């Protein structure tokens, strides 16, 4: 990585941004958690001791480092709060029917006291929980249902906009005079992926650049498909593109690998989202330029925490914000140390 790519405005890149979470991922601009004054959803509480409570967590998948990081947070909360936590997940982020079945089994199980869910298809989950009486907490992706007592996550659009602005500054530092960006999205129709791409676009356009939305690629949140997408981008733009945005870090790393040795893409900025250990190491090794790092551990932990509050008759905050940080080579080592502490459960 050239030195010019390392010098990015510290005020833009190094700050910690507390990203407020809103229904639909992007419904407001405040950065503080907002407590609901009253929750009218009819749900069951329990007289069980915490040691007898069972909270089941259904994640989008367990087949990625990010979701394993979320799982670690869930289990840490269970240990700290003294409740039983079982974490489940589909085999991939496109295994919709599999997750639907997992949720159905979870809701019908007699030992499920509360459910925490990161939905692959929010509308389907809303239908599934319509008649449940157990507390439900959504994480990462909102579910439009009055059965959801709390949502823990991020304003994906707002944090991606910050990433877009940071990437534009990095591209200018790398010598690009015209800023052109293309996105490699996750699963088509997924609200999280759509919000991130919309945010990236807003950040680029606010910085005077162009986001080629009509050339948006979909990689189903997998590195293998991101390679195919990047190959198509190179074929369409042999002259190079200043910025490639990806829905997650695995995709960004895979896309950058495609253009190794291609001089037209030598100074291209590759920006992912996630901020796991592999991403930090990739940034330090020049295999990814930057990431919008989110705290999956925190999301999992606070999701379980909200479920416990609901079971004990308390009213959890309706929207619980989790932090996001722009990470570059300048602060990747520090962020890596923090992530590893949580992954190793030594916080």
pLDDT tens readout for residues 293-302 = 999 999 999 9
Q: What is the pLDDT of residue 323?
A: 84
Percent of the chain residues topping a pLDDT of 90: 81
Q: What is the mean pLDDT of the chain?
A: 89
Sign of CA dihedral 298, 146, 101, 91: negative
pLDDT(81) > 80: yes
67, 99 contact by CB (below 8 A):
no
The string of pLDDT tens digits covering residues 173-195 is: 999 999 999 999 999 988 889 99
Give the three-state DSSP class for 19.
strand
Assess whether pLDDT exceeds 60 at residue 1. no
**Parallel, antiparallel or unpaired: strands 290-294 and 319-327:** antiparallel
Tell me the C-alpha distance between 30 and 28, whole Å. 6
* Of 21 and 141, more confident: 141
- For residues 252 and 263, give the distance between their C-alpha atoms in angstroms, rounded to a whole number: 18
Residue-level pLDDT at 97: 98
Tracing tokens 């330029």 back to the chain, one arrives at 289
Q: Where are the domains of the chain?
A: 3-20+156-294, 50-154+296-322+336-343
The residue that leads in pLDDT, 321 or 288, is 288
What fold does the segment set 50-154+296-322+336-343 form as a domain? Rossmann fold (3.40.50)
Local structure of 326: helix, strand or coil: strand
The CA distance from 194 to 31, in Å, is: 20
pLDDT at position 46: 72
Counting beta carbons within 10 angstroms of the beta carbon of residue 238, is it exposed (0 to 12), middle (13 to 18) or buried (19 or more)?
exposed
Q: Residues 89-113: what's their mean pLDDT?
A: 97
Sign of the Cα torsion 38, 40, 43, 47 reads positive
Instruction: Work out the pLDDT band at 41, boundaries 50, 70, 90.
Output: very low
pLDDT at 25: 33
Among 29-38, 91-100, 209-218, 322-331, the minimum mean pLDDT is found in 29-38
* 231 vs 47, more confident: 231
Q: Residue with structure tokens 């007699």?
A: 110
pLDDT-based confidence at residue 42 (cuts at 50, 70, 90): low
- Whether 8 has a pLDDT exceeding 50, the answer reads no
> May I ask the CATH class of domain 3-20+156-294?
alpha beta
For residues 279 and 23, which has the higher predicted lDDT (pLDDT)?
A: 279
Q: Does this chain's domain 3-20+156-294 share its CATH topology with 50-154+296-322+336-343?
A: yes
Its pTM stands at: 0.79
CB of 55 within 8 A of CB of 88? no
- How much is the pLDDT for 347? 62
Could you report the per-residue pLDDT of 258-278, keeping only the tens digit for each? 999 999 999 999 999 999 899
pLDDT of residue 344: 83
> How far is 153 from 167, CA to CA, in rounded Å?
23
Q: Which letter, b or e, does each residue of 6-26 get, where b requires 16 or more Cβ atoms within 10 Å of its Cβ?
A: ebbeeebbbeebbbbbbeebb
């Amino acid at each position: 990585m050239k030195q010019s790519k390392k010098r990015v405005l510290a005020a833009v890149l190094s700050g910690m941004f507390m990203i407020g979470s809103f229904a639909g991922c992007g419904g407001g601009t405040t950065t503080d958690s907002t407590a609901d004054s009253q929750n009218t959803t009819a749900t069951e509480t329990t007289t069980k001791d915490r040691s007898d409570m069972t909270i089941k967590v259904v994640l989008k998948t367990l087949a990625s480092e990010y979701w394993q990081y979320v799982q670690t947070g869930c289990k840490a909360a269970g240990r700290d709060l003294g409740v039983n936590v079982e974490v489940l997940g589909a085999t991939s982020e496109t295994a919709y029917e599999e997750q639907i079945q997992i949720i159905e089994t979870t809701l019908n199980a007699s030992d499920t006291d509360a459910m925490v869910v990161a939905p692959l298809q929010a509308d389907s989950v809303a239908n599934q929980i319509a008649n449940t009486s157990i507390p439900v907490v959504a994480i990462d992706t909102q579910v439009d249902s009055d059965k959801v007592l709390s949502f823990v996550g991020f304003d994906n659009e707002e944090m991606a906009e910050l990433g877009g602005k940071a990437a534009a500054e990095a591209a200018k530092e790398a010598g690009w005079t015209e800023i052109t960006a293309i996105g490699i999205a996750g699963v088509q129709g997924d609200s999280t992926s759509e919000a991130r791409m919309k945010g990236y676009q807003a950040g680029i356009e606010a910085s005077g650049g162009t986001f080629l939305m009509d050339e948006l690629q979909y990689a189903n949140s997998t590195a293998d498909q991101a390679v195919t997408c990047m190959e198509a981008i190179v074929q369409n733009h042999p002259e190079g593109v200043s910025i490639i945005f990806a829905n997650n870090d695995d995709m960004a790393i895979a896309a950058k690998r495609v253009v190794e040795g291609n001089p037209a893409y030598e100074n291209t900025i590759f920006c992912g989202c996630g901020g796991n250990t592999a991403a930090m190491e990739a940034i330090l090794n020049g295999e990814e330029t930057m990431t919008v790092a989110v705290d999956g551990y925190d999301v999992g932990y606070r999701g379980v925490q909200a479920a416990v509050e609901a079971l004990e008759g308390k009213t959890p905050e309706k929207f619980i914000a989790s932090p996001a940080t722009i990470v570059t080579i300048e602060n990747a080592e520090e962020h890596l140390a923090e992530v590893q502490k949580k992954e190793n459960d030594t916080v």
